[in-house]
Amino acid sequence: MTEAVNGGAAGGAGSEGILLKGGLVLDPASQTEQVMDVRIAEGVVQEMGVGLDAAGARVVDVSGKIVAPGLIDLHVHLREPGGEVHETVQTGSMAAAAGGFTTICAMPNTSPRGDDPTVMEYILRKGAGFGLTEVLPIGTVSKQSEGKEISEIGLLYQAGACAISDDGNPVVSGLVLRRALEYAKPFGIPVIDHCEDPDLKDGGLMHEGYWSTRLGLKGIPAESEAVAVARDILLAGLTRGKMHLAHISARQSVELLRFAAESGIPVTAEATPHHLTLTDADVQGYHTSFKVSPPLRGEEHRRAVLEAVKSGLITCIATDHAPWDAENKDCEFENASNGISGLETALAVVWDALVVREKMRPMDLIARMTLGPAEVLGRKDRGRLRAGGRADLVVIDPELSKRVDRGTLYTKGRNCPYHGRVYQGWPVLTVAGGRMTMRDGKVMYEG
Amino acid sequence: MGSDYGKLDFKDLISMEQLDAGQIDLILQNAAELKRVLERDIKKVPTLRGRTVLNLFYENSTRTRTSFELAGKYMSADVVNINAAASSVSKGESLRDTGQTLNRMAADLIVIRHPMSGAPAYLGRTVSARVINGGDGLHQHPTQSLLDLYTARDKLGDLKGMKVAIVGDVLHSRVARSNLSGFRTMGAEVWLCGPPTLMPPGLEDMGAKITWDMDEAVRNAQAVMMLRIQRERQASGLFPSIREYSQRYGLNARRLKLADSGCLVMHPGPMNRGVEISGEIADGVQSVIEEQVTNGVAVRMALLYLMAGRKGGDGE
pLDDT in tens, B170-207: 999 999 999 999 999 999 999 999 999 999 999 999 99
The class that CATH gives domain A70-377 is alpha beta
pLDDT at B235: 84
pLDDT at A246: 98
Residue A75 CA to residue A270 CA, distance in Å, equals: 9
Q: Which residues of chain B have pLDDT under 70?
A: 1-3, 85-91, 310-316
Cβ <8 Å between B118 and A215: yes
pLDDT in tens, A325-363: 998 999 999 999 999 999 999 999 999 999 999 999 999
Q: Annotated catalytic residue: which of A167, A193, A320, A352? A: A320
Domain with CATH 3.40.50.1370 in chain B: 16-140+296-313, 142-293
Residue A77 phi, psi dihedral angles, 5° rounding: -115, 115
Extents of the domains making up chain A? 12-67+389-443, 70-377
Strand partners, A135: A104
Residue B176 CA to residue B202 CA, distance in Å, equals: 13
Question: What average pLDDT does the segment A367-379 reach?
Answer: 98
Strand partners, B264: B223
Question: What DSSP element (H or E) covers A263?
Answer: helix A251-263
Q: B99 or A112, which is more confident?
A: A112
CA-wise closest residue to A150 among A177, A117, A132: A177
Strand partners, A316: A270
Residue B265 CA to residue B273 CA, distance in Å, equals: 13
- Show which residues on chain A lie within 8 Å of chain B, measured between beta carbons: 208-219, 285-286, 327, 330-335
Q: Where are the alpha helices (DSSP H) in A35-163?
A: 89-98, 117-130, 153-158
pLDDT of A111 above 70: yes
ipTM of the complex: 0.92
Residue A213 CA to residue A69 CA, distance in Å, equals: 44
* Closest CA of chain B from A200, distance in Å: 13
Residue B134 CA to residue B132 CA, distance in Å, equals: 6
Cβ <8 Å between B118 and A286: yes
Chain A residue numbers with beta carbons less than 8 Å from the beta carbon of B139 are 215-217
Please determine, looking at this structure, whether the domain spanning A12-67+389-443 carries the CATH number 2.30.40.10. yes
pLDDT of A264 above 80: yes
Chain B residue numbers with beta carbons less than 8 Å from the beta carbon of A217 are 117-118, 137-139
Chain-centre distance for alpha carbon B300: 10
**How many C-beta atoms surround the C-beta of residue B110 within 10 A?**
26
Query: Read out DSSP for A220-243?
Result: E-THHHHHHHHHHHHHHHHH---E
pLDDT in tens, B28-62: 999 999 999 999 999 999 999 999 999 999 998 88
pLDDT at B309: 85
The CATH classification number of B16-140+296-313 equals 3.40.50.1370
> Contact, A181 vs A239, CB < 8 A?
yes
Name residue B121's amino acid. A
**Average pLDDT of every residue of chain A:** 95
- Quote the crossing angle between the two packed helices B21-38 and B174-185, to the nearest 10°: 110
**How many C-beta atoms surround the C-beta of residue B22 within 10 A?**
10
The pTM assigned to this predicted structure is 0.93
Residue A340 CA to residue B268 CA, distance in Å, equals: 39
pLDDT at B6: 84
pLDDT of A257 above 70: yes
pLDDT at B91: 64
pLDDT at A12: 46
The CATH classification number of B142-293 equals 3.40.50.1370
- Show which residues on chain B lie within 8 Å of chain A, measured between beta carbons: 94-96, 114, 116-119, 121-122, 136-140, 174, 177, 200-203, 205-206
Residue A266 CA to residue A29 CA, distance in Å, equals: 20
Residue B245 CA to residue A430 CA, distance in Å, equals: 64
Which residue among B122, B140, B201 places its CB closest to the CB of A332? B122
Question: What average pLDDT does the segment A127-138 reach?
Answer: 97
* Length of chain B in terms of residues written: 316
Which residue among B96, B121, B200 places its CB closest to the CB of A286? B121
pLDDT of A3 above 50: no
Mutate to test the interface with B, among A214, A284, A299, A337 (most CBs of B within 10 A): A214
Query: Does the annotation mark A320 as catalytic?
Result: yes
Chain A with chain B: Cβ pairs closer than 8 A: 68
Whole-angstrom distance between the N-terminal and C-terminal Cα of chain B? 14
Residue B94 CA to residue A341 CA, distance in Å, equals: 23
Which residue among B116, B174, B177 places its CB closest to the CB of A332? B116
Q: Where are the alpha helices (DSSP H) in A77-221?
A: 89-98, 117-130, 153-158, 174-183, 198-201, 210-215
Which residue among B94, B121, B202 places its CB closest to the CB of A285? B121
Strand partners, B111: B55, B132
Chain A residue numbers with beta carbons less than 8 Å from the beta carbon of B177 are 213-214, 216
Name the band, by pLDDT with cuts 50, 70 and 90, for residue A16: confident
> Contact, B221 vs B286, CB < 8 A?
no
Mutate to test the interface with B, among A206, A213, A220, A328 (most CBs of B within 10 A): A213
Contacts of A234 (CB under 8 A, 6+ apart): A265
pLDDT of A14 above 50: no
Cβ <8 Å between A331 and B139: no
